[in-house]
Copies of this chain bind each other. A is one copy, B any other.
Amino acid sequence: MALFVQKYGGTSVGSIERIQQVADRIIHTIQQGHRVVVVVSAMAGETNRLTELALQITDTPSAREHDVLVTAGEQVSIALLSIALISRGYSAVSMLADQAGIKAAGHFGNARIESINTQVIEEHLQHNRIVIVAGFQGRDIEQNLISLGRGGTDTTAVAVAAAIEADECQIFTDVDGVYTTDPRLVKCAQKLSEVTFEEMFELASCGAKVLHRRSVELAGKYHVPLRVLSSFSPTNSDIQQSGTLITSSVTRHTELDQRVSKQKVAMENKKITGITASENEAMIVFDLPAVPQTEVFDLLSVLTEQDIELDMLSHEASFTHESTVAAIRFVIKTKDLPTALSLLQQYTEKNKLFSGQVMQVSDSVAKISVVGVGMRSHAGVITAVLKRLARQQIPVLLASATEIKVSVIIDKRYMELAVNALHEEFALNAEQSIKL
């Protein structure tokens, strides 16, 4: 009889009817003999509704007060879910951040959980109460309400699971698991029954929207088994056979394997777990004649100091008899592009370092990443990626590789073609798996 943390997002509690279904699902888990702590988001649309009210007053609402405003959304949903459980005869108790002992620190709107004092949660569990915790919020050292930013409710769920040493943290969402790639791009994308934290972290970083990467990082750090599953499946389905389990060690198999068990040995050699594609990328290329390397990195630090993340940074230099000619390439999120361009311009104007520099910006690129822990023991993944893309006549603008990930930047218009080709190349298609 396990201790589970279950997280329900905004869509899962988006209406009274959906809240009733969540209550049914929790009760089903309780009836199986488990104990449950639930972490809940605001009802779908509520956070936007509240933010809209603030924006009617000013374009730049006070960050502290904006957090007070939006966290009211979770207060409503924990109360409604508790009311639903209690009305069915179950003992439930809602807890706000301070009641659940959730201490956070950092910037308003983007805090990190510092600690959770689990004493009160554990007392409630000992009294067989279902504990319903408000996601997305904490209290700072001065008792200010402070929100955790995007994906904050997932983070709360993982942090609570780590703190109470739950057997599993179950993230109920509007998809039924993690797929080999985006099923909207590749028709025969397959659901994975297990992935590792490392793979999931790369998948989340590269645009798979199922989980926020902060929550994956936290789960990996504290070894909290994390399960992603659908809140739209029948409320009495067997949780531990559903969705995708994200864990430290994986017996590699897909849903299909469970049906075709004789294929299992072949599958266990699978190099690649999944492929992600992201369109929200912009590539910046600097051609820099005769500039010392330290000053190049000075320039880049102008961006990183403003929390603009540089991805796939590459730096090439060639030496002629007269000077060093260098090229710098990197990728940033398109949302950061206007700020980045204005910062770079200010810097170069002020420092007059780069006369003769040429800066090119491509904002119509896509980033394709091929992820898998199996890569470690299989050399040549990057070669296979580049070869296959060449065969499809897709020019690669930039490529990089880490231990478990190969990423390429290509023109956006080739994105779907590239993902489908690579999905086939690495035998992720359902039909192919059987044929292997």
Contact = CB atoms under 8 A, between A and B. Distances in A.
Interface of A: 16, 19-20, 50, 53-54, 56-58, 60-62, 64-66, 68-69, 71-73, 75-76, 78-80, 82-84, 86-87, 92-94, 96, 98-99, 143-145
B58 A87 contact: yes
A65 B94 contact: yes
A65 B86 contact: yes
Contact of A69 (B16, B83, B99, B144): B83
Contacts of A76: 50, 53, 69, 72
A57 B98 contact: no
Contact of A57 (B19, B58, B66, B69): B19
Contacts of A19: 57
Copies in the complex: 2
A248 to B, nearest CB: 36
Contacts of A66: 79, 83
A98 B53 CA distance: 25
Contacts of A79: 54, 65-66, 68-69, 72
A65 B82 contact: yes
A123 B84 CA distance: 41
Contacts of A68: 75, 78-79, 82, 94, 96
A302 B68 CA distance: 46
Contact of A87 (B61, B99, B143): B61
Contacts of A16: 53, 56-57
Which 4 A-B residue pairs are closest in the complex by CB-CB distance? A69-B79, A58-B87, A68-B79, A72-B75
Contacts of A60: 87
A160 B2 CA distance: 47
7 contacts: A16-B56, A53-B80, A62-B82, A64-B93, A68-B96, A69-B76, A72-B73
A428 B325 CA distance: 96
Nearest to A49: B76
Nearest to A60: B87
A326 B195 CA distance: 84
A346 to B, nearest CB: 27
Given A16-B56, A80-B54, A86 B62 contact: yes
A16 B61 CA distance: 13
A256 to B, nearest CB: 41
Given A62-B83, A99-B144, 18 more contacts: A54-B80, A57-B84, A57-B87, A58-B87, A65-B79, A65-B83, A65-B86, A65-B92, A65-B94, A68-B75, A68-B79, A68-B82, A69-B75, A69-B76, A69-B79, A72-B72, A72-B75, A99-B143
